[in-house]
Chains A and B, each alone.
Chain A
């Protein structure tokens, strides 16, 4: 099998979930996944693969942006998790995306309703860079004061997430990944671009 499962699905899945939970509870903090390595021709990193293994099963529907299925991801997901792949973004519980795949025409993901805001798509984002300290300023629940984040060239994604605030409680939550690194920006986070600093050298993905 080129795509590997967790060596210990129960406990490794639990650890990966706790990393995602910690990232979601404290937006802008980085977590490092200990997930199985992905095949060389995969378009996603280990942190994202581990998140899919931990959260997806036959009750979840996944939308995949063109190109990210590289390396036989869809077959591997079917085998390891049983999750269904959907072509309709509004039906997706999770969506595998890159920032570029969110530029016009943007897929119409589910944002929930005012009565059921939880019925919304969670974005699982593949980034070129991800590091603490960067040009995007985060504030809100889970953040003492402010945090900043480096996400590389991700303007369409950040515009989409910054628009969350106006529609709250409807909105999209994002789990950001880059290689083995993982962070999250839930819809409760207030996002703005601060005076641009230089992207840091160590922010690029190591494992891809």
Chain B
């Protein structure tokens, strides 16, 4: 596209983000501050993820963008169109065909492969923020590895509800050191972070932080011995493809209480439907 550098960002900004990414990979789970740029869409729509994608993307890359697992929702469609326009890269909806996948709030059901990079859009990168509003304090807590308060929060869940009621953005500990926000993915996806084959990068545009989980890295979801971490389960399989191993969305079908549960990962669901057909 005329008038823009490849992938929208200028080269100096890309280099700044790239240097930050190398530090983020070297210190897994640590939030690296970066000079976030204004992007042509509002904060909260994935400006952090977009800046990371723009900084790593090359002309040979094949890009996939998902929003809550779906390739065909507003956020995914617009970000995919954006990079088609400003970078001219090939795009796909097939998880296995993409080498860069930008995602909002899901990890694809199809296992990721070595060499793939998953870029997460992150609204609030600091897992301790809802407990401690001061950035100065949370930074000191990370420096001192002072994470007791996070367990107190999970314990309060148990005291109040009888179980850990956190269902998304469930805090994890990366390589036994940093407590990290996995972005608002359902806790169903947390086990996919552990020893993944793919490199996972996280970008928060408004908060101007980026962080990373390298492949083959230990990622533990915080829990207690007597209240171990558990993922969501459903009584019925996906109404469209019959999958029992995938994260299901509830879809309201009429105004008389009709509902169905279907895969949130549209690519996974379609592939399964085609296999059956």
What is A's interface to B at a CB cutoff of 8 Å? 9-11, 13-15, 17-18, 20-22, 24-26, 54-60, 93, 113-118, 120, 122, 140-144, 168-169, 173, 186-188
Q: List 29 A-B contacts (CB under 8 A).
A: A9-B11, A11-B6, A14-B58, A17-B18, A21-B56, A21-B199, A24-B22, A25-B199, A25-B212, A25-B214, A55-B18, A55-B22, A56-B15, A57-B12, A114-B144, A115-B139, A115-B143, A116-B139, A117-B30, A118-B30, A118-B33, A141-B175, A142-B214, A142-B216, A142-B217, A143-B216, A168-B177, A186-B27, A188-B28
The reply to whether B215 and A142 form a contact with Cβ atoms under 8 Å apart is yes
User: Bound state CA distance, A141 and B32, in angstroms?
Assistant: 18
The reply to whether B25 and A13 form a contact with Cβ atoms under 8 Å apart is no
| Residues 250 to 274 of chain B near chain A (Cβ within 8 Å) | none
Among B5, B58, B144, B175, the residue within 8 A (CB) of A188 is B175
What 6 A-B pairs come out closest when comparing CB atoms? A186-B26, A114-B143, A141-B217, A142-B214, A118-B23, A173-B26
Give the distance to chain B from A59, nearest Cβ to Cβ, in Å: 7
Closest to A10 in B: B6
In the complex with contacts A117-B27, A169-B30, A93-B58 CB distance below 8 A: no
The reply to whether B216 and A141 form a contact with Cβ atoms under 8 Å apart is yes
The reply to whether A186 and B216 form a contact with Cβ atoms under 8 Å apart is no
Give the distance to chain A from B210, nearest Cβ to Cβ, in Å: 10
- Hey, what's the 0/1 contact readout for B152-188 against A, CB within 8 Å counting as 1? 0000000000000000000000010110000000000
Residues of A within 8 A of B143 (CB): 113-115
Give the distance to chain B from A8, nearest Cβ to Cβ, in Å: 10
Residues of A within 8 A of B177 (CB): 168-169
The reply to whether A24 and B25 form a contact with Cβ atoms under 8 Å apart is yes
User: Bound state CA distance, A174 and B26, in angstroms?
Assistant: 10
The reply on B59 being an interface residue by CB < 8 A is yes
The reply to whether B25 and A55 form a contact with Cβ atoms under 8 Å apart is no
The reply on B149 being an interface residue by CB < 8 A is no
Task: Tell me how many residue pairs across A and B have CB atoms closer than 8 Å.
Answer: 109
Give the distance to chain B from A23, nearest Cβ to Cβ, in Å: 10
The reply on B240 being an interface residue by CB < 8 A is no
Give the distance to chain A from B137, nearest Cβ to Cβ, in Å: 11
Residues of A within 8 A of B115 (CB): 22
In the complex with contacts A13-B11, A169-B30, A187-B27, A26-B19 CB distance below 8 A: no
User: Bound state CA distance, A169 and B175, in angstroms?
Assistant: 12
Closest to B195 in A: A144
Closest to A119 in B: B23
Closest to B26 in A: A186
Extra 7 A-B pairs, beta carbons < 8 Å, given A59-B16, A120-B23: A14-B57, A24-B26, A55-B19, A55-B22, A114-B143, A142-B217, A188-B175
User: Bound state CA distance, A166 and B139, in angstroms?
Assistant: 20
- Hey, what's the 0/1 contact readout for B125-149 against A, CB within 8 Å counting as 1? 0000000000000011011100000
The reply on B112 being an interface residue by CB < 8 A is no
Among B25, B59, B217, B218, the residue within 8 A (CB) of A11 is B59
The reply to whether A18 and B58 form a contact with Cβ atoms under 8 Å apart is yes
Give the distance to chain A from B135, nearest Cβ to Cβ, in Å: 11
Give the distance to chain A from B6, nearest Cβ to Cβ, in Å: 5
Give the distance to chain B from A127, nearest Cβ to Cβ, in Å: 19
